Structure 1
Amino acid sequence: MQCDYFDAGVCRSCTQIRVPYATQLESKDADAKALLHEHAQLRWLSPVASKESAFRNKAKIVVSGTHQNPVLGILNREGNGVDLSECPLYTFDILALMPVLRELIQRASLTPYSVPARKGELKNILVTASPSGELMLRFVLRSKKLLVPIRREISWLQQRNPAISVVSINLLREHKAVVEGGEEIILTEQQTLPMQVNGMDLHLRPQSFFQTNTAIAEALYAQGAQWVADAAPHTLWDLYCGVGGFALHSAQALPDASITGIEISEEAIASAQRTVDEKGLDNLTFIAQDATTFAVDAQELPECVVVNPPRRGIGEQLAQWLEHSGIQTVVYSSCNARSLVKDLEKMPSLKPVEGRVFDMFPHTNHYEVAVLLQRA
């Protein structure tokens, strides 16, 4: 893929961009197989390829410069802004929004935050785009000083880009190297972004997690649903369920099964429950709780478990619980194959029998891998 920013040396995030895409995919598939080589019984399905460009449904835009001449992109090592407003990874809906954001900053005098000087208000703008073209727009501010000017411009924003459905303010008061803070103020009547995935809407609230590559997320959820349908359990847990991707797909694949989704984020659970209500899925329950605590304290066990943990993996306590639980089938979706390998070492009775690489992150060394585990 051609990228002028990479060629100019201003952004090096896509470390593999000069490697032909077919070679990238082969390399990721080979890496997963090498990491799991001790599992001789593991059968690998063909890796799932991504589009090479316009696949990224999220933009995490650092705002720098001045309100008269804002820079939308990233910061270099010195803390100065680098424009990435035409990054070819972004969906076309996000790219079309960039001039509108620049005009808004100028129009409303939204003072960018200067990291070196620790002055200013507008730190980041976070954008999420759905397959239907709807947009969620979040302004990360140092304080509430710009809340009224931004609220005043929402009508103008939506006139300039009618796809903007959700607008919120996120407060990051501290000078910290993080993208957002914990406090969110939604400014629009619509509070969730419908993300269309395999024919259903997953409702994203401002702080809900969703994968950055919608098409690959669809393939990942479909694969998980196929594996659990083949296992045909009567009961299933989806641990670290987020907004319910695996649980919702499993509920459709197993209409007679009892399914429970567990996620520590109350916002994510509220989003998942809205999809349940819309789809009329009476076999699915969502609970806001820590996944490990829920499992360890449970009095009754399911026949099947799906886990989709963060990069660190499920950890020793949950791995040991799964090892001794007697549960026959586990679907493990991992964004870090190395933590997956460490977790599998703690679960020797659960053997990976089928696996697949999903290229969620083209032009980097990162990928998603899912494995079907069955008790020996």
Structure 2
Amino acid sequence: MTVPYARQLQSKVEDCQQLLSGFQSLEFLPPQASNEQGFRNKAKMVISGTTEQPTIGILDADGHGVDLRNCGVIAAPLRAVFPVIEQFIHDLKLIPYDVPKRKGELKHVILTLSDTGAVMVRWVLRTKKHFVALRDSLPQFLEQLPRHSVVSVNFLPEHKAVLEGEEEIILTRRSTLEFGLNGVPMHLRPQGFFQTNSEIAAALYRQARQWINDANPESVWDLYSGVGGFALHCAAEDRTVYGIETSTEAVEAAKTSAQAMELEDVHFKAQDATEFALNAGWAPDAVIVNPPRRGISAQLAAWLNESDVQHVIYSSCNAKSLARDLEWLDNYTPQLARVMDMFPQTSHYEVIVKLERKAA
């Protein structure tokens, strides 16, 4: 964080260029810079300390709380919610979870900010001891949150290093947090995934949409589609789009967006991306992949190589696995790449690559 931002960004470009140096055909477009601070739309905060003096932040190596309410990478509207969280911990006598002692109730508070200004607040509890108090305080809590906010309670009874459990109860009538990136309505449900930097996510979707529209395919698959960002942005008249994602929560959110946009030929399905491709029985003109850090599977790469897919757009948060996957996709020529600085003040970044099938 002591490195000037321009140098940070250049270092990321150089790192990506070095990792993808084996692809001589690849041209790098100018990187997409981010705001240096206040860019993070999500805060996953550990609650520790005491009811009277809670800490909201992370844990140190000994399991003690380190308060991060003033962390500069967190968006200011989210930081403004932390005093409200503390107030309700006091008023409702919520007992923070003590990790070393394995005692207490309130484990985490997970906050997400929409570009509309609304927030999603998820209280993560060990048991249902505080649930009634949180539910009954909802009207007072919502009075101190922006309009159209979403509040839920998640239950994590196990003592393990995860942020949330499987059971979630939404307290508000509104069940999704709505974003409006590039004029495209997108919905996030409590257990869904959304990019942590809305500005860069919007730029990422615009770049993919431009490349898809330049190719003008009649059919597109968005594999690992999440809440449907790429699929929704690439929808067009006379174009069939499928979004494939394992998370049923994300798929339901994507369907909500497609319905709001009245997109009749955009379809979302909850299924493993590799399984879908291998069993679909047909291939689209273009495929967008946005896999987790491990990259795509060898089976999916092999299927793409032998398919009739002409255009591939690969969005990656890990250039090392991307380099491996591009080696596997040797029937394609990587043409263009662009570093998107999704994670300023860290060594991490997103990169999007355009590939075209080699002539037979």
Q: TM-score, normalised by structure 1?
A: 0.94
Q: Which residue of 1 aligns with 2:288?
A: 306
Cα distance 1:31–1:266, how it changes in 2: closer, same or farther (>3 A)? same
Q: Which residue of 2 aligns with 1:233?
A: 217
Q: Which residue of 2 aligns with 1:281?
A: 263
The alpha carbon displacement at 1:372 in A equals: 0.3
- Residue by residue, what CA displacement relative to the aligned partner does 1:64-114 show, whole Å, maximum 9, x if unpaired? 001111110100000000110111111111011010000000000110000
The alpha carbon displacement at 1:152 in A equals: 1.3
Cα distance between partner residues in 1 of 2:137 and 2:251: 31
Cα distance between partner residues in 1 of 2:73 and 2:254: 28
The alpha carbon displacement at 1:283 in A equals: 2.0
Conservation of the 8 A alpha-carbon contact between 1:136 and 1:164? no
Q: SS of the counterpart of 1:18?
A: coil
Q: Which residue of 1 aligns with 2:77?
A: 93
1:43 maps to 2:27: yes
Cα distance between partner residues in 2 of 1:186 and 1:97: 19
1:359 maps to 2:341: yes
1:255 maps to 2:237: yes
1:329-340 maps to which residues of 2 (within 5 A)? Answer: 329-340=311-322
Conservation of the 8 A alpha-carbon contact between 2:119 and 2:145? no
Q: Which residue of 1 aligns with 2:302?
A: 320
The alpha carbon displacement at 1:146 in A equals: 1.1
The alpha carbon displacement at 1:164 in A equals: 6.3
Identical-pair percentage? 51
Q: Which runs of 4 or more aligned residues in structure 1 lie more than 6 Å from their structure 2 counterparts after TM superposition?
A: none
The alpha carbon displacement at 1:115 in A equals: 0.3
Cα distance between partner residues in 2 of 1:82 and 1:42: 44
Q: Which residue of 1 aligns with 2:350?
A: 368
The count of corresponding residues between Structure 1 and Structure 2 is: 358
* Aligned AA (1:273): K
Over aligned residue pairs, what C-alpha RMSD do you find?
0.9
Q: Which residue of 2 aligns with 1:6?
A: none
- Residue by residue, what CA displacement relative to the aligned partner does 1:159-211 show, whole Å, maximum 9, x if unpaired? 22344611111111110011111111111111000012111221100011000
Cα distance between partner residues in 1 of 2:10 and 2:201: 20
Cα distance between partner residues in 2 of 1:315 and 1:299: 19
Q: SS of the counterpart of 1:175?
A: coil
Q: Which residue of 2 aligns with 1:8?
A: none
Q: Which residue of 2 aligns with 1:134?
A: 118
Q: Which residue of 1 aligns with 2:330?
A: 348
Q: SS of the counterpart of 2:149?
A: strand
The alpha carbon displacement at 1:345 in A equals: 1.4
Q: Which residue of 1 aligns with 2:196?
A: 212
Conservation of the 8 A alpha-carbon contact between 2:156 and 2:166? yes
Q: Which residue of 2 aligns with 1:18?
A: 2
Q: Which residue of 2 aligns with 1:246?
A: 230
Cα distance between partner residues in 2 of 1:268 and 1:311: 18
1:30 maps to 2:14: yes
The alpha carbon displacement at 1:346 in A equals: 1.2
* Aligned AA (1:255): E
Cα distance between partner residues in 1 of 2:103 and 2:116: 38
Q: Which residue of 1 aligns with 2:248?
A: 266
**Structure 1 residue runs without a partner (length 5+):** 1-16
Conservation of the 8 A alpha-carbon contact between 2:119 and 2:146? no
- Out of 20, 40, 56, the residue aligned to residue 72 of structure 1 is 56
Q: TM-score, normalised by structure 2?
A: 0.98
- Out of 179, 183, 194, the residue aligned to residue 167 of structure 2 is 183
Cα distance between partner residues in 2 of 1:315 and 1:277: 31
Conservation of the 8 A alpha-carbon contact between 2:117 and 2:146? no
- Residue by residue, what CA displacement relative to the aligned partner does 1:258-292 show, whole Å, maximum 9, x if unpaired? 11111111111110111111111122111111111
- Residue by residue, what CA displacement relative to the aligned partner does 1:313-369 show, whole Å, maximum 9, x if unpaired? 012111111111131100000000001111111111111100000000001000000
- Out of 97, 103, 116, the residue aligned to residue 87 of structure 2 is 103
